[in-house]
Amino acid sequence: MPASRSVDPEELREAVRSVTAWLDGAAPAKPDRKKLASAVRLSLRTLAAVAPGHSVEVRVPPFGAVQCVDGPRHTRGTPPNVVETDPRTWLELATGRLQWTDAVERGLVAASGARADVSHWLPVVRV
């Protein structure tokens, strides 16, 4: 999904609301894959919109990845600045339920490279 496409804030909030019970621990089972994918992809696109650029790649497999943060553009091979995490951790970061430093210290986020700290732009949505 291209990062350049703008995200409707209400669409983002609605997508995240659809998985909020799971994030809060009130729903024992993972949400429907389609709902989870939508929440992850829209929040990633929002990050790319608020932190435009191509120096950091944020990956949330299996749902998406975006390039963001101003700086040197990366075009081939493995980017020098990479953030990778699972969907739940990403959504907790994206909504402010989890702090960046806590996630990194607990090993929930793999962040490599001098520009990989994206905490300045988090959270991207509050619900």
Q: Name the residue among 69, 41, 42 with its Cα closest to residue 56.
A: 69
Direct distance between the N- and C-terminal alpha carbons of the chain, in angstroms, rounded to an integer: 23
| 5 — pLDDT class (breaks 50, 70, 90) | low
Check if the beta carbon of residue 64 is closer than 8 Å to that of residue 86. no
Length of the chain: 127
For the entire predicted model, the pTM comes to 0.91
Determine the pLDDT at residue 74.
Answer: 66
DSSP letter (8 states) at residue 96: T
pLDDT, tens digit, for every residue of 101-115?
999 999 999 999 999
pLDDT, tens digit, for every residue of 82-96?
999 999 999 999 999
Determine the pLDDT at residue 100.
Answer: 98
Domains of the chain: 9-121 (3.30.1050.40)
DSSP letter (8 states) at residue 21: H
